[in-house]
Structure 1
Amino acid sequence: MNLSPSAPAARLSSPKSPPSLALLCDPQGMIVEVLRNDLDLPAAPGRLFSRLVDVASQFKALAFLEELRSQAAAFDWELNLVAAPENAERVLTLHFSGGRWQEEGTRLLLVGAVSNDAARDLLADLLRIHNEQTNQLRDLRKTAAQTGPQMALYDEISRLNNELIAAQRQLARKNAELERLNQLKNQFLGMAAHDLRNPLAAIGAYSELLQDEDLGLSPAERSEFLRDIFRLSRFMNNLVDDLLSVTAIEAGQLQLQLAEVDLTHLVQRNIARHRLLAAHKEIDILLQVGAEDGVSRLPPLWLDAAKIEQVLDNLVSNAVKFSPPRAQVQVRLSAERDAALLAVQDQGPGISPAEIERLFQPFGRGSARGTGGERSTGLGLVIAKRIVEGHQGRIWLTSEAGAGAIFFVSLPLTGTKASP
């Protein structure tokens, strides 16, 4: 009787998953078999996995293998792979996860994809299929063997072994998530401390000047110092609020209270409030809803009104912040196919392509500065992006240096009703 698995390892890939790389390696990282290679990377049996990555990622690749060997699973490792041996400058960034693969000895399964979720999903599919084949093999062996008390013991040991392997993988996944959150916490604390230091120093200096009666400050000068203290205090309060919001969101704690919302009314009310705030720079905020006559309205959407207003606050206040005095900010709301489309256009200095990539990252500020001395926490767009994506929507921008910027938000017209 043939007791080998019913399907070769090369067939253990899911055709529905996105382009990816799946390798079976020995404990030292030597490739034993290429299970999947949709990206045409130079992976082949007999080659070390660490030789697939660029020089800067080789240490991380070895650390990834070490975690996989010691913990039986590893998740969310970002590595840069050399796409072609003849061109070391052509690099492809992939996210890797892996698990221990038990056959005739220890093997390591390495899966890389363009996102962490895709890599995790493919890894889970491959391990599930492999486990199913392993169980089929055990059933064949049981059928071929003599029955007796040993079979009951064999079944119990097999069950316990499967539970132990599953527990090890789950523990490794939790450890990887805890490590990611710890790194995020340290990053945010370091950046927040840096951004709070200067305002605190300025408030301290202004306070000392106000207490020094020998300086003979005029009422106008005292009033100016107090306005600066108020402005800096408000900035620090906004920074702390944004920091708490983005930390909760990154930890997976974005909770949406969905309800039927008149988005047109919400935007109109928000713009009316911002017109008052923009008056000190003599900036006019123009709103167009649907048709040019401004009469057309969108159907009600299932949204978290408070969270969407937070997105609007960020986009409109940024437009006012970076536009020069006596400029115009244009806000347009319309229906585009199956989505509501919001566009906020400013007359600021514009954003270069290199800066666009980091604007939606924590503390990813651009080079532009507020035309009225306004400060930026560098977290508002990160929060806006997470909120929009939580509504199954999308946020993006178009801009050219010197020509202003347009931020777009697309929200599905058919939302999901909140759970009771």
Structure 2
Amino acid sequence: MKRQPIYSLLLCTYFISFSAHSALKQDFAQLGIEKTSAYQEQMRGYNESRGSLLTDPIPPAPRASTCSLADTMRETQQCLARSAAIQEALHEQAKYLNRLPRHKFPNSSLQLSMGELDQTIKRLQSWSRGNPQSLADMFFLQELNFDPQGRGAKYTGYITPALNVKRTPDRRFRFPIYTKPKNGKLPTHADISRGALAGKGLEIAWTDDPIELYFAQIQGAANAVFPDGSFATLSYAGNNGHPYRQVAAYLKAKGYKTSGLGNNSIKEWLRANPHRIAEVLLSNPRFVFFNLKQGRPKTSIGASVIPWHTVAVDDKHIPLGSVLLAELPILDHLGRERGRQWHLLFAQDRGSNIQGHARIDLYLGAGHNGDIIAQGITGYRRTFLLRPKT
């Protein structure tokens, strides 16, 4: 039986499900989802069989007392943890570089050679296995600045949002999540909302919260949480090829909301103005498709994302496979800075909005307070590219 184009109700009928957000919170509480810090998760390693771990993206606790840059370079063993997460990241970087032709020269403004990238990974792998050499012994630093003012690299953060889903629709779970059609010209977001893809067997799950679904599309991945407590990853499967337009810019241009245009603030505004939801969200013609998979979301190099280590970059400037040393804030659950700490970051991902010489998007994990933590990360941060000494 051909179903009615449920997604076409998109948000025009959202007032019927206005309580979905509170229900979402209640469902998570009932599921008893474990909440641990990204640092603790890194220390114990990842269990791929569990899928995408649902954890609040809390910043790692300091390894020791906060180290200066000079301390981190000279006393690396005391300032940087040889964590399972770093070992995994190095392994994935090496796999990626080994797939590239040996004669390939990365097309980046930093003019890094393949040999330099290889040497960086090999030296760090040796260090992660117990080599006592310090970063100062192995590397020199090339500072990255987003603009001529020399304020450092420009950071934002991205997360894996969580969506309550079901395999089949009902009165509550009536907003479809689509996989990408194999052939044909792809419709706009508005056309899809009117049912252009309905009834074609492309629905992989149904959710109860179209606003969270929209922001999951912006992030490019989500944790799909089923009523029985099991979960999987909604991984990026492509988009409809239409231009991406920020809803924040639309809100500002229309005068609906001229300040406080972070994701959390926009979500709150949409929930308080349900009659504007369809208009605002459909102002973006881009639509993102998903596949339903086990394991963590994948990056552009094919690696699984690693909280507080994976970064998306503009690889016209920073080549994928390179390693950065960055001073990041230590934040509490409210996004308040409680200190700073040096981290190794791994260029593994790209993003359509990540453009510029030192534009960096840091993966923060999965959980409900991710937008708050992302706001604490946003800004300019001291960041250096590791280049091997000869």
Task: State the TM-score, normalized to the length of structure 2.
Answer: 0.24
Structure with the largest fraction of helix? 1
Task: State the TM-score, normalized to the length of structure 1.
Answer: 0.23
Greater relative contact order (Cα < 8 A, sep 6+): 2
